[in-house]
Structure 1
Amino acid sequence: MYDKTQIDNYNIPFVASEFGIKTITGIAINKSPDDVRKHLTKHPHFVDGFICAICIQGEAKLRINFQEQELKPGTIMIILPDTMLEPLDISDDLHIDTLFFSYELMSDEPLINEFDIFQKIRSFPCIKPKEADIEIFKDYHSFISKLFFRDNDPDKYKKLRYLILALVNEIKSVYTSDQLSSKAYQKSESLADRFLKLLFIHHKQEHSVNFYADKVCLTPRYFTTEIRKSTGKPALTWINEVVTAHAKSLLITQKRTVTEIAEELNFTDASMFCRFFKRHTGLTPSEYRQTIR
């Protein structure tokens, strides 16, 4: 979907080095209630790993792979590898208990590669299951957290791995339960869904409505009208927002020059990229970088 050699993602080593969050061989977990709010909710970023999170307090609106989602107390959020996450509105009292682990931690487990479950999670990354299921998720996080921060346990990693595998099985149970077969969690692939998937794959290279309209065999005019009807925004607005979000992510996590980032996002030169970025953010790329230091 994107070239991993050219973009630093929010992976376990990055979280450890940039934010000082403790990690254990491919596993990270929040220690204080506001760890996630302080460190991981300010800018768009790609996630290179799995996130299992429970909203305990506060509210948040965010885009997950360009689709708006809402977090409220009792919401469970599951993020898969290669996901783009863009915070939109975060309350000051947000508390999300979060477990972040690498794909490599579970790569040899058949469960972690079940395509049908992945597809359902990608469609519905934020769900509000039954109260009993929420309590089980809280218990898992609490137990994993206590073990994670316990000292002098030579078998800690092995125990954590087994507990995380059990949690992943619980996630599978929720996503295959009757409650996710209800109408609220049913949808056929709409034109907007197809567009957003194409946009996720091609946005670095393709910035024109014509390209995406051609991919779904529609005229650009009809295509953008239908996208506006179903999403509330025309196709070009979506394209610009996604390219801007990716540019912000690169400016945050990369040491490369603005010229190199312009090339990454297929602008003809740095000047054109700077004009585009300022038009959509009110800041030049350099000014934006200064705001996050």
Structure 2
Amino acid sequence: MTQVNPIITTPEEQFVVGESDLAFFSGYACRIDGGAILFCRSGAAEVSVNQYQGHVCRNTLVLLLPGSILMLTDRTEDFRVTFCAFSRDLFAEAAFRLEPSFFHALRERPITSPPHRIVEGASIWFQMAAYTYRDRNNVFRNTIIKNRLQNLLLESFDKMQRFAARRPRTPETTTRQTELFHRFVTLVQAHSSQEREVSFYADKLCISTRYLSTIVRTVARSSAKEFIDRSVVLEIKMMLQSTDLSVQEIAYRLRFPDQSYLGRFFKKHTGESPTEYRNMRK
């Protein structure tokens, strides 16, 4: 039986609330157009959100920003989540008051295991969201869910800030370096499908490639080139799994010289050729 993406919205259905085992994303990298909040009810799974990988178990929260690439690399038979999926437009309206630092924090750590009292609050929030979702005759339905989403995002931002304030500062990372790293991550997400050289991102940030490499290694414990390449590999995986494009067409779209070059690049980073990767996941 063909699995269906449960966290998808339409112009007519701006938000969706439900429960799922997320089998659609098992071994399948898929970019979600809108965003979603996932609350694990049972079981466990290894979850990848863009370049972040984490363990999800009971009471874990996952907050997916619009455009995130989601994949489950492993999950137990009893893995279940309650979810609220929302359109890109609805998210933009709900998040307009939030500072850029909130989105930076979510990109760095989209998977969290909150304390018990926050778990209780999340359970109540999902119950209220589900009630609004079922109340289809309510003329203010979309406005209410937008306000509920905004409240959850503001609560999350508040807890992130307070938690960050309690953490000891790492002396090797300055505020300036952290901000440059966040800007680098945003640029990579926007341009890595077309630009793979460190110099491109250094120029955009008006810093030297050496300084950018130092920042990325300090914050992310990897080189800037490795960070960019991981993003490109993720994009290739998503296109191999989510589209019918040939390897040659993917190479053209991602500005590789030819499909052989893309094949060597992909195999170097994954141990498989693009065709092997695609066939193994059909």
Normalised-by-shorter TM-score class:
0.7 to 0.9
The answer for unaligned runs of 5 or more in structure 2 is: 170-174
What pairs up with 1:132-143 in 2 under 5 angstroms? 132-142=117-127
Question: Contact conserved, 1:129 with 1:174, CA < 8 A, in 2?
Answer: no
What pairs up with 1:220-259 in 2 under 5 angstroms? 220-259=209-248
Q: Distance in 1 between matches of 2:50 and 2:60?
A: 18
What pairs up with 1:126-275 in 2 under 5 angstroms? 126-142=111-127, 144-145=129-130, 155=137, 158=139, 161=142, 164-177=145-158, 179-184=159-164, 188=175, 189-275=178-264
Cα distance, 1:25 vs structure 2: 2.4
**1:19 match: secondary structure:** coil
**2:279 match: secondary structure:** helix
Cα distance, 1:67 vs structure 2: 4.2
Q: Which residue of 2 aligns with 1:80?
A: 65
Cα distance, 1:261 vs structure 2: 0.9
Question: Contact conserved, 1:199 with 1:239, CA < 8 A, in 2?
Answer: yes
Q: Which residue of 2 aligns with 1:8?
A: none
Question: Contact conserved, 2:31 with 2:68, CA < 8 A, in 1?
Answer: yes
Cα distance, 1:114 vs structure 2: 1.0
Q: Which residue of 1 aligns with 2:16?
A: 28
Question: Contact conserved, 1:144 with 1:160, CA < 8 A, in 2?
Answer: no
Aligned length: 266
Structure 1 residue 97 corresponds to structure 2 residue 82: yes
Question: Contact conserved, 1:78 with 1:121, CA < 8 A, in 2?
Answer: no
Structure 1 residue 114 corresponds to structure 2 residue 96: yes
Cα distance, 1:127 vs structure 2: 4.2
What TM-score results when the alignment is normalised by the length of structure 2? 0.76
What TM-score results when the alignment is normalised by the length of structure 1? 0.73
Q: Distance in 2 between matches of 1:64 and 1:289?
A: 20
**1:51 match: secondary structure:** strand
Cα distance, 1:60 vs structure 2: 4.5
Cα distance, 1:218 vs structure 2: 4.2
Q: Distance in 1 between matches of 2:70 and 2:5?
A: 21
Q: Distance in 2 between matches of 1:230 and 1:89?
A: 28
Q: Superposition RMSD on alpha carbons, in Å?
A: 3.4
Q: Which residue of 1 aligns with 2:277?
A: 288
Cα distance, 1:287 vs structure 2: 1.8
**1:116 match: secondary structure:** coil
Q: Which residue of 2 aligns with 1:48?
A: 33
Cα distance, 1:102 vs structure 2: 1.8
Q: Distance in 2 between matches of 1:41 and 1:167?
A: 29
**2:230 match: secondary structure:** helix
Amino acid across the alignment from 1:116: L
Larger mean CA deviation between 43-52 and 115-124 belongs to 115-124
**2:31 match: secondary structure:** strand
> Alpha-carbon deviations, 1:93-120, whole Å to 9, x = none?
533211212235x37xx85251425751
Percent of residue pairs identical: 25
Residues 167/154 of structure 1: CA separation in 2 closer, same or farther (3 Å cut): closer
